[in-house]
Amino acid sequence: MSRLIIDRRRFLTGSAALGSTMALAGCSQFDFLAQRDNPIRNAIEQANVLTYQAQRALIGDQVLAREYAASEIRQGMKPNGSTEPTTAEYMFLRGMNFEPYRLTIKGMVDKEVSFSLAELRNMPARSQITRHDCVEGWSCIAKWTGTALGPVLDQAGVKPGARYCVYHCYDNIQRSISGDILYYESSDLVDAYHPQTILSYGLNDAVLPVSNGAPIRLRIERALGYKQPKYLHTIELVDDLSPFGQGKGGYWPDNGYDWYGGI
DSSP 92: H
Q: Distance between CA 198 and CA 127 in Å, rounded?
A: 9
- Of the residues 81, 150, 202, 262, which one makes contact with other proteins according to CB under 8 A: 262
Q: Distance between CA 148 and CA 186 in Å, rounded?
A: 16
Tell me if 18 contacts other proteins by CB under 8 A. Answer: yes
Between residues 55 and 242, which has the closer beta carbon with respect to other proteins?
A: 55
Phi, psi of 260 (to 5 degrees): -60, -50
Say which residues have a Cβ less than 8 Å from residue 190's Cβ, sequence separation at least 6: 56, 61
- Of the residues 104, 114, 211, 255, which one makes contact with other proteins according to CB under 8 A: 255
Provide the H-helix boundaries in the chain: 2-25, 39-44, 46-58, 88-95, 117-122, 149-156, 189-192, 251-254
| H or E segment and range at residue 172 | strand 164-176
- Of the residues 85, 107, 133, 145, which one makes contact with other proteins according to CB under 8 A: 133
Phi, psi of 161 (to 5 degrees): -80, -10
Q: Looking at residues 139 to 168 of the shown chain, list those that interact with other proteins (rule: CB under 8 A).
A: 139-141
Q: Distance between CA 65 and CA 77 in Å, rounded?
A: 18
Tell me if 185 contacts other proteins by CB under 8 A. Answer: no
Stretch of residues binding other proteins (CB under 8 A), selected from 33-41, 102-110, 113-121, 146-154: 33-41
Between residues 119 and 209, which has the closer beta carbon with respect to other proteins?
A: 209
Count interface residues toward other proteins (CB under 8 A). 57
Tell me if 211 contacts other proteins by CB under 8 A. Answer: no
- Of the residues 113, 135, 181, 207, which one makes contact with other proteins according to CB under 8 A: 135
Report the interface residues with other proteins, using CB under 8 A: 4, 7, 10-11, 14-15, 18, 25-28, 30-31, 33-34, 41, 44-45, 47-48, 50-51, 55, 58-60, 63-66, 68, 72, 74-76, 78, 131, 133-141, 221-224, 252, 255-258, 262-263
